[in-house]
Amino acid sequence: MSQKATNLRINAERLWETIMETAQIGATAKGGVRRLTLSDLDRRVRDWFVDACKKAGCSITVDDMGNIFARRAGKNPNLAPIAVGSHLDTQPSGGKFDGIIGVLSGLELLRTLNEAGIETEAPIEVIDWTNEEGSRFAPAMLASGVFAGKFSREYAYARADRDGKSFGEELERIGYRGEAPCGAHPLSAFFELHIEQGPILEAEGKVIGVVTDVQGMRWYEVTVEGEDCHAGTTPMPMRKDALLASARMITAINAVGRRHAPHAVTTVGLIEAQPNSRNVIPGKTFFTIDIRHPHDAVLATMEDEITRELEAIAAACGVSLALERVWNSPPVPFAKECVDAVREAARDLGLPSREIISGAGHDAAYVAAVAPTAMIFVPCERGISHNELEKAEPEHVAAGADVLLRAVLATDARLAEGVRA
Ligand code: GLV
Ligand code: MN
Ligand code: MN
């Protein structure tokens, strides 16, 4: 790396102001952001991002999954770009940082390179991946999954939200169904900066998480059917109460997570009961299950246990059960050269760091299947995330962006050496 590149730092104040500016798009009363994927607010933040990247001199490509690629040209157009990025969609009660710092630190990186007049060997791209959250359209990381060949475009377009609107229609409606075929887009490397979304870095006083792996995760959809009946006239032993059966199932799912401590986690985060009337015994429920663990074999055991226990509860409660696995994202190890680039960047910048496995899903997990990839974590207060109160310190976000910049420039120097060799 040149001396100029070695001394280069991002503009921390400008990055923070940019994060606060986009946080206005979908701002919530408690200081968070509600910007569901492919909503009008998602369109607004995308328009903002495209405009900002154009002002930074980038060319823009949108693929047919709505992924946005903002490219700053390099000296060597034959090299595939080094990419950075994350997502601008949020949870229904999301924060200002999840995903967002990964995209906006990419924009800041471009602005920093422009100001310093640094020409990289490879092009640099900043990517906004569509539907990382998976809250509106399951599964999560849908568009990076198509990019990596894990899902077909047709499968993605057919995903429907709880109101029955499809991903394909909504993508078209907001005007972000691009021409470029998703996936036909080689990358030399991909780096994603993200808040940790957990408490480890803060507890240990570390500023940088050098992410080595992403744990495995599986999602399920469950429908339980009993019988609607009068709440005042149906004796307790004669009821087929789908909600009561579901409550028992939720307790059993929680117990499976606890049984496989300390690494397993199990969550039921969405439940709908029908007819949802206070004096009707609920005849039908729909709920979701999210299970995670760093090892696939343990996930398989957890899945078997959940299946067996839910079947037994359904039989005991006289209700029927339909349990469908809708997503399986296996554990992902990141590429050694990219993890090393992150570790060395943190060390060179004198930032306290530790290796960490991601408990959350990230687009980087799918991109890793098609390009050398790694992630950088920075702390967030009390590990609180997927919450309007999500909070990160400006100096930690800036430190993460500096590590990102340095990892990208070191990767570029390595590619340049490869070209010369
Ligand atoms: C993505 O936000 C996840 O569920 O980990
Ligand atoms: Mn995220
Ligand atoms: Mn998230």
pLDDT digits 0-9 by tens, 144-164: 999 999 999 999 999 999 999
Locate the ligand 1 atom nearest the alpha carbon of residue 99 and give its number. 2
- Nearest ligand to the CA atom of 94: 3
Q: Per-residue pLDDT tens for 80-129?
A: 999 999 999 999 999 999 999 999 999 999 999 999 999 999 999 999 99
CA of 139 to the centre of ligand 1 (A): 10
The pLDDT, as a whole number, for residue 342 is 98
Locate the ligand 1 atom nearest the alpha carbon of residue 386 and give its number. 2
372: Cα separation from own chain's centroid = 18
The pLDDT, as a whole number, for residue 1 is 82
CA distances from 104 to 14, 122, 384 (A): 10, 20, 20
CA of 136 to the centre of ligand 3 (A): 12
pLDDT above 80 for 382 = yes
Q: How many CA atoms lie within 13 A of 95 on its CB side?
A: 18
Q: Which protein residue has the closest C-alpha to ligand 1 atom 2?
A: 133
The pLDDT, as a whole number, for residue 5 is 87
Pick from 123, 358, 405: nearest CA to 263: 358
CA of 141 to the centre of ligand 2 (A): 9
The pLDDT, as a whole number, for residue 321 is 98
CA of 3 to the centre of ligand 2 (A): 34
CA of 234 to the centre of ligand 2 (A): 47
Pairing, β 82-86 against β 124-128: parallel
pLDDT above 90 for 2 = no
CA of 292 to the centre of ligand 3 (A): 15
The pLDDT, as a whole number, for residue 68 is 98
Calpha distance 185→191 (Å, rounded):
16
Locate the ligand 1 atom nearest the alpha carbon of residue 361 and give its number. 5
Mutational test site, ligand 1, from 133, 213, 328, max ligand atoms within 8 Å of CB: 133
- Nearest ligand to the CA atom of 91: 3
- At 127, is the secondary structure helix, strand, or coil? strand
CA distances from 216 to 307, 350, 362, 395 (A): 18, 32, 11, 31
Instruction: Please give the average per-residue pLDDT across 191-216, as a whole number.
Output: 98
Ligand 1 binding pocket, CB closer than 6 Å:
133, 140, 360-361
pLDDT above 90 for 419 = no
List the structure tokens of 243.
């909600």
Locate the ligand 1 atom nearest the alpha carbon of residue 141 and give its number. 1
